[in-house]
Structure 1
């Protein structure tokens, strides 16, 4: 849908009765608008869009200028890399754990149908938190873009990232699409590997 794969087999995404959280927009709402077009309610999140206030985008898409993290933090300062070219002009970004966001929006008792993360390297810590808390076990579809940079995650955290990757499989998340593969090198100073991956929660479906 839009620029992300979604599985519609066996009514996995009930039309006119689905809730989607999309983290990481960078002004590209193709996925969000496409999911809204089939009747889903979509919440789009991106703390880096500093010139964009919270607003309702059409009938079914709601933008929130906050990000997802493994901890609640009102003054998160992102690392500078190929995505964040300079530190934010404001005093950090507002970040929240998924369970905090669900509570803030009144969705704790609702079924989150699709969760999408495109958060430029921070997905490792966030996914680990989602697994540790057990909250991901209730989500039928999980879409994520994995990133590896030359220095991020830090070398000492790479084993944790590998563990997180395989824990998804052990928790019943089955990969059904891999795409957007990219490798980037720049004169020994920059290195990046990324891949867009879509999972089905076989224990939920």
Structure 2
């Protein structure tokens, strides 16, 4: 998603400062890259003119499809919510002229916008939540931008592991509150041992601990297996995302699933629980809140891991 050039239409006549956030959606497992930057309108328009020969596509903000109001969402059944989600995340609400892939094409890589105001600078900082000791994304970011990189994952022990020298690794998970998780749930199908207790913190607490409370985070990558819905409300409430230029987030929509092996084949099996234990209606409402905070979708690429069929329409569970 792209953020409107202002934080809301009403503020357009009050200030010349603009805030742009882009949003790459991956989604019913939706990967979202969000970009946030403050700049003056005149400078922005001059840059757009200079890019015109390379980037002609302009999206009409006034004709964007929008999620309905909360009172309407509350009256929708789950089928309608799935269809609404599928329609919404497959929109392009901002056109990035300089889109690059950091890491491989599969889910460990992420799309990054390198347009003028969104490209990581010379002293860039990157937060990467969820790695399972896979550092393809971080390695690509390091080669491209030489950023200060912080990787967070509380799930797996690192004793005896060789970690890249260009990252700071933290055994911390992202959450909507600060607590110790004593019964972590195994979701992915793998044989790697998991730690028995996880330290969980909010994004604002983590940034404060690292002395980044008023520092720009150039790229915030979140891939935390459905618990993004638990962490997002605190980010929106505290307005901590105002410090983030790009957010790449994998969204898991609707009911959760686990991988099971049957006759030697791995397949997803749906459970009775929603991702992050957040109701489906609230997941949709969070997407609307992001839109109301000026976030706009940039790109969505379906992945071939799990689908659900509603009204003869196949909806992919994982999208990037």
| TM-score bracket, shorter-length normalisation | 0.7 to 0.9
Distance change >3 Å, CA 96–CA 127, structure 1 → 2: same
Q: Is the Cα contact below 8 Å between 1:80 and 1:87 reproduced in 2? A: no
Shift of 1:62: 1.0
Corresponding residue of 2:317: 193
Q: Is the Cα contact below 8 Å between 2:230 and 2:276 reproduced in 1? A: no
Secondary structure of the 1:44 match is: strand
Q: Is the Cα contact below 8 Å between 1:83 and 1:120 reproduced in 2? A: no
Q: Is the Cα contact below 8 Å between 1:77 and 1:87 reproduced in 2? A: no
In structure 1, the gaps of 5 or more residues are 186-191, 197-205
In structure 2, the gaps of 5 or more residues are 1-101, 104-108, 257-269, 308-315
| Paired residue total | 188
Based on CA coordinates, which of the two structures has the bigger radius of gyration? 2
Shift of 1:47: 0.7
What is the CA RMSD across the aligned residues, in angstroms?
Answer: 2.7
Give the alignment partner of residue 20 of structure 1, picking from 123, 126, 139: 126
Give the alignment partner of residue 148 of structure 2, picking from 31, 34, 41: 41
TM-score by length of 1: 0.80
After superposing on structure 2, the runs of 4+ consecutive aligned residues of structure 1 that deviate more than 3 Å are: 51-56, 82-89
Q: Is the Cα contact below 8 Å between 1:79 and 1:87 reproduced in 2? A: no
Give the alignment partner of residue 7 of structure 1, picking from 110, 113, 117: 113
Corresponding residue of 1:57: 164
Q: Which has the higher contact order (CA 8 A, sep 6+)?
A: 2
Corresponding residue of 2:234: 129
Distance change >3 Å, CA 125–CA 111, structure 1 → 2: same
Q: 1:176 aligned to 2:298?
A: yes
In structure 1, how many angstroms separate the alpha carbons of the residues matched to 2:281 and 2:274?
A: 12
In structure 2, how many angstroms separate the alpha carbons of the residues matched to 1:182 and 1:15?
A: 34
Q: Is the Cα contact below 8 Å between 1:42 and 1:61 reproduced in 2? A: yes
Q: Is the Cα contact below 8 Å between 1:78 and 1:87 reproduced in 2? A: no
In structure 1, how many angstroms separate the alpha carbons of the residues matched to 2:132 and 2:192?
A: 15
- 1:100-115 → structure 2 map (5 Å cutoff): 100-115=205-220
